[in-house]
Amino acid sequence: MDSLITIFLPLALAIIMFSLGLGLTLDDFRRVAARPKTFAIGAGAQLILIPAVAYILVLLFRLPPELAVGMMILALCPGGVTANLLTKLAGGEVALSISLTGIISLVAVFSVPVLTAFFASHFMGLDAPAINVTSLGVSMFLITLVPVAIGIAIRKMAEGFALKLDAIVSKLAVVLFVVVVVGALAANWRTFMDNLAVLAPALILLNIILLGAGIFFGRVFGLTLPEAKAISIETGVQNATLGITVGSLIVEQASALPPFSLPSAVYGITMYLVSIPFVFWLRGRRVEAMQ
């Protein structure tokens, strides 16, 4: 279990973020400035709506304090490569999805440590772990933004090679992700079983609400259907590996994944049960302006 935390967990996250970087170009970031309204809707959904919905569900389902913190950590995480792939499968605007993932991942390096400390204190009070916000931020920078930057650099210097490499790296990331999720559940099997009846419905409902929100905002703000699809999936699909990693980083010298990581580990399974059928439903929708 020590190797899961010290090797596979950060390695899986770093490879996932490296894969994200391979799919990014500087033009993806320039599109943000060219389409401020669309990006603002997606960013607002990720930075405000997701934590708000998660907080309400934590209260409604009366999750134990450690699991409540874990669910908020998940809600603070950006979308990931999985969201980009699902957006492509659904016929959404992939460039918008990648732009949102890239920039919100940058914001997360600063927002996640601060808000994780806040929610830990809020739900656990004096029992909250002592969270070194600076140390957590540096750790996130090293295992998220550095791999993304390397991926972007490779894509800029050798685009053809980057695209071929991405196909390999993406598959490797999936394998490592499975190892992390299975290991997390195995290490916390008793806690997982004791809280499954409450935790799984809360996470499934979170997924459903957030996926639906993207389509709703698309109708309200008059976005195109591909834009709404991208925002829907970016809002509804979080980076579970990052959530597991952050949950383990806030516990010093952990020899097993703590309960803080459990919601993200369970979500790593339930999100596919909800997202895949939703994506195929979106795929069948006509591409038209949503007025």
**pLDDT score at 19:** 80
Token reading at 95: 């460039």
SS3 (DSSP) at 289: strand
- Spatial separation of the C-alpha atoms in residues 181 and 101, rounded to whole Å: 21
What's the whole-model pTM score?
0.85
**pLDDT score at 51:** 95
Quick: pLDDT tens for 166-176. Answer: 778 877 777 77
Q: Report the chain (291 residues): mean pLDDT per 10 consecutive residues.
A: 60 80 74 79 92 96 93 90 82 83 87 93 89 85 84 86 81 73 70 78 94 86 88 90 85 68 86 89 63 43
Quick: pLDDT tens for 47-81. Answer: 999 999 999 999 999 999 999 999 999 999 988 77
Q: What is the CA radius of gyration of the chain?
A: 18
Alpha-helical (H) ranges within 125-249 are 133-140, 146-157, 159-187, 189-221, 225-236, 240-249
Q: Is 286 exposed, middle or buried (0-12, 13-18, 19+ CB in 10 A)?
A: exposed
**pLDDT score at 49:** 94
Round the average pLDDT of the chain to a whole number and report it: 83
**pLDDT score at 218:** 79
Token reading at 203: 């996470």
What CATH number belongs to 2-282? 1.20.1530.20
